[in-house]
């Protein structure tokens, strides 16, 4: 199965607005999901420059952009993608 | 201790928007629009309507500009007028925590409530145990009469279904000294400034973000433009912003700090003097000595624990040593302490060597406003005069480890670490003066986990602690010449023996 990529933007804006806390996502993934997820901090994704994109912090789950991201939103997206692919 | 939530993000967003506005050509225009942009027409509101939200947002922006909401005279005075005023002041405002009246949700006074889990049982222990007859049954379910209830909690303990719950008032619950209480007429919370220790716990715990402190962000932005500001970054800077410590230093230089120093260097000096002071006091027959670097602890002693005062170390804090060194080198320097702490503003107000204090949150907002991406910054060279003892001050246990490393005859040092000052810790401390203290060196930290989890942090304390440990392993120790064992100065300790949690 292809891994789901979670890129947590760690540009200064996203980091300030909560990305710092999202970086511990590994700890909340359940063991089954963890093997299928690759989570990492990413350099600024550039999404904060346009207010139309929504609020920071931004997380990309594969190609999906999540604005005002929190762990629940990110985990939901991961689960959805895993279900779609299987 | 999970402090990344919507209330917290809202507070940071205000700081960020203020800092961003500062760097635009017409700050007044963007500033006046903050409430409108954050709560646009037909958008969602978090209170009754967007209009009330906007008023509260205006008050938040005032606090971010350093103005106390309580002092509002003219409701029509625009944010831009406050901004102009802020730019004119040369000294920071007197530190004070205030409740934004309109933001306070006036949480219910009746602390106990019967839930749907009530089975309307035959025993009705709650009813028989209640000394005030406050429990009545409606449609077979228990109900507490708030007029009669005296919040004794006996019914909660008596219910076999755990159907009665206690609803806390988060700010009052968090305050270790009873400084925040309800105004009986309005139902809103009021802070008693004679009791407040500025620990920041209420500010963090209020789910409506109704408590705010007065930011010095504009004052510092102004100094950065003037070009004579020296940034003094606290040991807990690690993990508070993206990138490495050397990258953060170069980001600070980019944003306009003429010089950046690590307060850890001052913490090394605190270590040297405090360990000598401890040894001297012990040989004079003192029973114990407490640390002095946590300003919320110092305020607690001043206001609530006068009996402990004789036992507090006289050694100046890392911030004090650092600022005094900066001043010695350049008497004209404008000193800016950057840390995790809002109580440091109180300490700074008493110390002429420290001009301004901002938190990591405020620093983050300044960097964003200036468009600086820390991860893209070069790595600046750090001072070689910083040791692991000083850097270790950032986390609970760090000060003890440092003093222990340097204390002559350190076998006799019996540490007691108070990791987080709450009500229990304060009443325990009171007994140290009258009866006995189980250690002879007491580390007092207002925040659980130490400075890395302070109210002005934006990093995750767990990740920050990991990064701190990595950094400490690469940092030389003050006792390098007299190394006896290879144990790093900051290590995990078995809590039962070493750390007495109270």
Three-class SS of B369-408: HCCCCHHHCCCCCCCCCCCHHHHHHHCCCHHHHHHHHHCC
Using CA atoms, how far residue B205 sits from B135, B343, B419, B422, in Å, is: 31, 16, 18, 14
Percent of chain B surpassing pLDDT 90: 85
pLDDT of residue B2: 61
pLDDT of residue B493: 34
pLDDT of residue B326: 97
Radius of gyration of chain B from its Cα atoms, rounded to whole angstroms = 25
Q: What is the mean pLDDT of residues B435-451?
A: 95
pLDDT of residue B1: 44
Q: Is the pLDDT of residue B490 over 50?
A: no
- Do the Cβ atoms of A12 and A47 come closer than 8 Å? no
- Residue B101 contacts by C-beta under 8 Å, 6 or more apart in sequence? B69, B70, B186, B188
- Do the Cβ atoms of B104 and B189 come closer than 8 Å? yes
Strands B259-262 and B229-233: parallel
Which pLDDT band, with edges at 50, 70 and 90, does B411 fall under?
low
Q: Which residues of chain B lie closer than 8 angstroms to A12, CB-CB?
A: 241-242, 364, 367-368, 372-375
**Other residues' Cβ atoms within 10 Å of the Cβ of residue A50:** 8
Q: Between chains, do A12 and B2 touch, taking CB under 8 Å as contact?
A: no
pLDDT tens digits, A30-71 = 888 888 999 999 999 999 999 899 999 999 999 999 999 999
Percent of chain B surpassing pLDDT 70: 94
**Number of separate helices (H) and strands (E) present in chain A:** 4, 4
Q: What is the mean pLDDT of residues A71-76?
A: 94
pLDDT tens digits, B270-320 = 999 999 999 999 999 999 999 999 999 999 999 999 999 999 999 999 999
Q: Domain coordinates of chain B in residue numbers?
A: 6-104+171-214, 112-168, 219-482
pLDDT tens digits, B322-351 = 999 999 999 999 999 999 999 999 999 999
Q: Would you say the CATH fold of B112-168 matches that of B6-104+171-214?
A: yes
- Length, in residues, of chain A: 86
Q: Is the pLDDT of residue B109 over 50?
A: yes
pLDDT of residue B492: 38
**Other residues' Cβ atoms within 10 Å of the Cβ of residue B162:** 10
Q: What is the mean pLDDT of chain B?
A: 92
- Residue B93 contacts by C-beta under 8 Å, 6 or more apart in sequence? B66, B67, B68, B214, B216
Residue B312 gets which letter from DSSP? B
pLDDT of residue B480: 64
A44 at B interface, C-beta within 8 A? yes
Q: How far apart are CA A72 and CA B256, in angstroms?
A: 38
Using CA coordinates, name the residue in chain B closest to A8. Answer: B242
- Of B9, B37, B364, which has the smallest distance from its Cβ to A15's Cβ? B364
Q: What CATH class does B6-104+171-214 carry?
A: alpha beta
Using CA atoms, how far residue B146 sits from B49, B112, B134, B207, in Å, is: 29, 9, 7, 23
Strands B259-262 and B135-138: unpaired
**Other residues' Cβ atoms within 10 Å of the Cβ of residue A63:** 7
Closest CA to B117 of B156, B146, B151: B156
Q: Is the pLDDT of residue B497 over 80?
A: no
- Do the Cβ atoms of B237 and B247 come closer than 8 Å? no
Q: Which residues of chain A lie closer than 8 angstroms to B241, CB-CB?
A: 12, 15-16
pLDDT of residue B106: 86
pLDDT of residue B242: 94
Q: Is the pLDDT of residue B405 over 50?
A: yes
Q: Between chains, do B361 and A11 touch, taking CB under 8 Å as contact?
A: no
Q: How far apart are CA A10 and CA B369, in angstroms?
A: 16
Give the phi and the psi of residue A42 in degrees, each rounded to 5: -120, 155
pLDDT of residue B498: 33
Q: How far apart are CA B315 and CA B427, in angstroms?
A: 25
pLDDT tens digits, B208-222 = 999 999 999 999 999
Q: How many domains does chain A have?
A: 1
Q: How far apart are CA B113 and CA B151, in angstroms?
A: 10
Radius of gyration of chain A from its Cα atoms, rounded to whole angstroms = 12
Q: Choosing among B15, B204, B242, B363, which should be mutated to test the A contact, i.e. which has the most A CBs within 10 A?
A: B242
Q: How far apart are CA B290 and CA B404, in angstroms?
A: 13
Q: Choosing among A11, A13, A16, which should be mutated to test the B contact, i.e. which has the most B CBs within 10 A?
A: A16
The residue segments making up the domain with residue A37 are 4-85
pLDDT tens digits, B8-27 = 999 999 999 999 999 999 99
- Residue B437 contacts by C-beta under 8 Å, 6 or more apart in sequence? B287, B288, B416
Tell me which residues of chain B have a C-beta less than 8 Å from any C-beta of chain A.
2, 4, 8-9, 12-13, 16, 37, 239-242, 361, 364-365, 367-368, 372-376, 458-460, 462-463
A24 at B interface, C-beta within 8 A? yes
* B315 three-state secondary structure: coil
pLDDT of residue B210: 94
Residue B108's Cα: distance from chain center in Å?
26
* A61 three-state secondary structure: strand
Q: Is the pLDDT of residue B406 over 80?
A: yes
Q: Choosing among B1, B3, B8, B9, which should be mutated to test the A contact, i.e. which has the most A CBs within 10 A?
A: B9
Using CA coordinates, name the residue in chain B closest to A26. Answer: B463
Which pLDDT band, with edges at 50, 70 and 90, does A27 fall under?
confident
How far from each other are the two terminal CA atoms of chain A, in whole angstroms? 8
Q: How far apart are CA A61 and CA B406, in angstroms?
A: 50
Check the CA dihedral B461-A48-A51-A4 and report its sign: negative
**Other residues' Cβ atoms within 10 Å of the Cβ of residue B133:** 10
- Do the Cβ atoms of B420 and B448 come closer than 8 Å? yes
pLDDT of residue B119: 95
**Other residues' Cβ atoms within 10 Å of the Cβ of residue B72:** 14
Q: What is the mean pLDDT of residues B360-372?
A: 97
CATH number of the domain at A69, please: 3.40.30.10
* A8 three-state secondary structure: strand
pLDDT of residue A30: 86
Q: Which helix (H) or strand (E) holds B36?
A: helix B27-38
**Other residues' Cβ atoms within 10 Å of the Cβ of residue B427:** 12
ipTM of the complex: 0.93
Q: How far apart are CA B137 and CA B150, in angstroms?
A: 18
Burial of residue B276 (CB within 10 Å: 0-12, 13-18, 19+) is: middle
Q: Is the pLDDT of residue B248 over 70?
A: yes
The CATH classification of domain B112-168, taken from the options 3.30.70.20, 3.40.50.300, 3.40.50.20, 3.20.20.370: 3.30.70.20
- Do the Cβ atoms of B399 and B443 come closer than 8 Å? yes
Residue A47 gets which letter from DSSP? G
Strand partners, B194: none
Q: How far apart are CA B272 and CA B40, in angstroms?
A: 56
Lowest mean pLDDT among A28-42, B165-179, B400-414: B400-414
pLDDT tens digits, A7-18 = 999 999 999 999
pLDDT of residue B107: 87
Which pLDDT band, with edges at 50, 70 and 90, does B384 fall under?
confident
């Amino acid at each position: 199965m292809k891994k789901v990529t979670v890129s947590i933007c760690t540009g200064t804006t996203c980091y300030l607005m909560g990305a710092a806390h999202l970086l511990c996502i590994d700890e909340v993934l359940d063991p089954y999901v963890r093997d299928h997820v690759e989570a990492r901090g990413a350099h600024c994704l550039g999404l904060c420059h346009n207010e139309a994109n929504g609020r920071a912090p931004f997380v990309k789950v594969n190609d999906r952009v999540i604005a005002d991201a929190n762990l629940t939103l990110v985990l939901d997206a991961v689960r959805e993608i895993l279900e779609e692919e299987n | 201790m999970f402090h990344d939530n919507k209330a917290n993000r809202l507070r940071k967003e205000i700081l960020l928007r203020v800092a961003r506005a500062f760097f635009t050509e017409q700050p007044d225009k963007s500033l006046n629009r903050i409430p409108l942009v954050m709560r646009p027409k037909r958008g969602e509101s978090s209170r009754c309507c967007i209009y009330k939200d906007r008023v509260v947002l205006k008050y938040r922006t005032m606090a971010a500009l350093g103005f106390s909401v309580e002092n509002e005279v003219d409701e029509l005075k625009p944010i831009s007028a406050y901004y102009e005023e802020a730019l004119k002041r040369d000294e920071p405002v007197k530190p004070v925590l205030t409740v934004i009246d309109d933001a306070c949700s006036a949480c219910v006074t009746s602390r106990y409530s019967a839930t749907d889990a009530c089975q309307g049982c035959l025993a009705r222990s709650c009813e028989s145990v209640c000394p005030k007859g406050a429990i009545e049954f409606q449609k077979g379910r228990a109900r507490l009469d708030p007029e009669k209830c005296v919040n004794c909690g006996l019914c909660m303990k008596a219910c076999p279904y755990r159907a009665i719950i206690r609803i806390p008032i988060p700010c009052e619950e968090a305050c270790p000294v009873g400084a925040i209480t309800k105004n009986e007429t309005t139902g809103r919370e009021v802070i008693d400034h004679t009791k407040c220790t500025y620990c920041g716990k209420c500010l963090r715990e209020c789910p409506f973000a109704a408590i705010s402190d007065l930011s010095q962000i504009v004052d510092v932005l102004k100094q950065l433009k003037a070009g004579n500001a020296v940034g003094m970054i606290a040991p807990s800077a690690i993990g508070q912003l993206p990138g490495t410590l050397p990258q953060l230093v170069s980001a600070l230089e980019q944003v306009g700090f003429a010089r950046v120093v690590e307060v850890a260097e001052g913490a090394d000096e605190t270590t040297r003097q405090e360990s000598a002071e401890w040894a001297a006091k012990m040989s004079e027959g003192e029973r114990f000595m407490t640390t002095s670097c946590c300003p919320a602890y110092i305020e607690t002693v001043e206001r609530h624990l006068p009996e402990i005062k004789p036992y507090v170390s006289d050694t100046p804090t890392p911030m004090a040593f650092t600022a005094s060194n900066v001043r010695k080198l350049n008497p004209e320097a404008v000193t800016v302490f950057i840390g995790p702490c809002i109580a440091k503003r109180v300490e700074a107000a008493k110390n002429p060597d420290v001009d301004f204090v901002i938190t990591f949150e405020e620093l983050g907002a300044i960097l964003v406003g200036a468009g600086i991406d820390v991860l893209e910054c070069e790595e600046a060279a750090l001072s070689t005069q910083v040791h692991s003892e000083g850097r270790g001050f950032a986390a609970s246990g760090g000060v003890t480890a440092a003093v222990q490393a340097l204390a002559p005859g350190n076998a006799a040092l019996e540490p007691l670490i108070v990791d987080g000052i709450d009500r229990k810790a304060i009443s325990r401390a009171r007994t140290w003066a009258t009866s006995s203290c189980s250690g002879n060196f007491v580390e007092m930290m207002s925040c659980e986990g130490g400075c890395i989890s302070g109210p002005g942090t934006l990093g995750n304390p767990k990740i920050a602690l990991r990064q701190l440990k990595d950094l400490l392993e690469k940092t030389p120790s003050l006792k390098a010449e007299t190394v006896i064992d290879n144990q790093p100065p900051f290590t995990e300790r078995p809590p039962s023996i070493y750390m007495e949690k109270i």
